[in-house]
Amino acid sequence: MSARRFLSIGECMVELSQAGDGLLRKGFAGDTFNTAWYARACLAADWSVDYFTALGDDAMSDEMVAFIDKSGIGTSLIRRIRGRTPGLYMINLKDGERSFSYWRDNSAARSLAADPDRVREAVESADVVYFSGITLAILPREDAATLLAEIRRAKAAGKLVVFDPNIRPRLWASYDVMHTTISEGARSSVLVMPSFDDEAAHFGDDSIDATIHRYKALGAVNIVVKNGADGVRLNFAGEETFVPAEKVKKVVDTTSAGDSFNGAFLSRYLETGDAPAAARFAAGVAARVVSEHGALVVKEKLGLSGGRARA
Ligand code: AMP
């Protein structure tokens, strides 16, 4: 079978976390990259997973590319821009509470869609295209329009286009722009994978039904609504299923729970087309992710073997 390509589009940042004694530990993470990581961990070897972003030409950009490459994720589509640098965020810890500081206003990734030919080339090369509300939020408005036009072409060509609204109000110029652009992202997609708490807080949905109805009305074909420890609701071709979350002994860190769920879900769904079974598998992977520290949990701790789940 010829290789199939899963393409994730967005921003990966340098992550600094507390390592004790005032020292900082450096890592790399970002919502769409995290999903690519888990898709790579769970997909069979006949799939390639590629990341599409923009980086600079500094040493930190080189290190990030090397890290992505070492993770088994393709870097050939990454745009390198002279004089630019990656975005950075720091995880602060005070009295056990985590908070985040970001330095990403001028990151290279903001220019990832500034060259329409490269966007077209990347999207055309893929069988599955994954992006998020954060991907759209960081782009200048005209570049978001460029990306969405290519995404719509992919949908029209019958590709699986997947969107996680991942709503982060502080990344958007206004609520109005945020609502309009996220709705446009969903309209351009086949499968939408929102988190209910975000949708309730920022779109005012009073129930999961309301979230499903709103995204259906926009033209999304299939919806997976994640609801933390309360499981997920699927609406595939109009058929509803509920899949519970797995019980976790001790939740250690919920960073990237949703991203890992998406990557694991897609890996199974792409292989079998069975959405409820894919959601059960993803609930298992996400449960392991929230039981460990950090956004990127290594494959050995995900209960997988040879790129596929044991069970
Ligand atoms: P969220 O984005 O918070 O809705 O979480 C995504 C997925 O991670 C959920 O659908 C669950 O499968 C899993 N998850 C998140 N929080 C928990 C938790 N406290 N216990 C078990 N699973 C969880």
Q: 24-56 pLDDT, tens per residue?
A: 999 999 999 999 999 999 999 999 999 999 999
Q: 225-252 pLDDT, tens per residue?
A: 999 999 999 999 889 999 999 999 999 9
| Nearest Cα residue to atom 23 of ligand 1 | 229
The answer, yes or no, to whether any atom of ligand 1 lies below 6 A from the CB of 208, is no
Sequence-distant (6+) residues with CB within 8 A of 143 are: 111, 112, 113, 114
> How many Å lie between the centroid of ligand 1 and the Cα of residue 80?
35
The length of the chain in residues reads: 311
Architecture of domain 5-11+31-84+112-304: 3-Layer(aba) Sandwich (3.40)
- E-assigned strands of 190-243? 191-192, 222-226, 232-236, 239-243
Given CA atoms 183, 187, 189, 193 in this order, what sign does their dihedral have?
A: positive
> How many Å lie between the centroid of ligand 1 and the Cα of residue 84?
36
pLDDT for 307 equals 43
> How many Å lie between the centroid of ligand 1 and the Cα of residue 247?
10
With 50 as the cut, is the pLDDT of residue 295 above it? yes
For residue 196, the ligand 1 atom closest to its alpha carbon is 4
Sequence-distant (6+) residues with CB within 8 A of 95 are: none
Rounded distance, CA 269 to CA 277, Å?
Answer: 8
Sequence-distant (6+) residues with CB within 8 A of 252 are: 290, 291, 292, 293
pLDDT for 308 equals 46
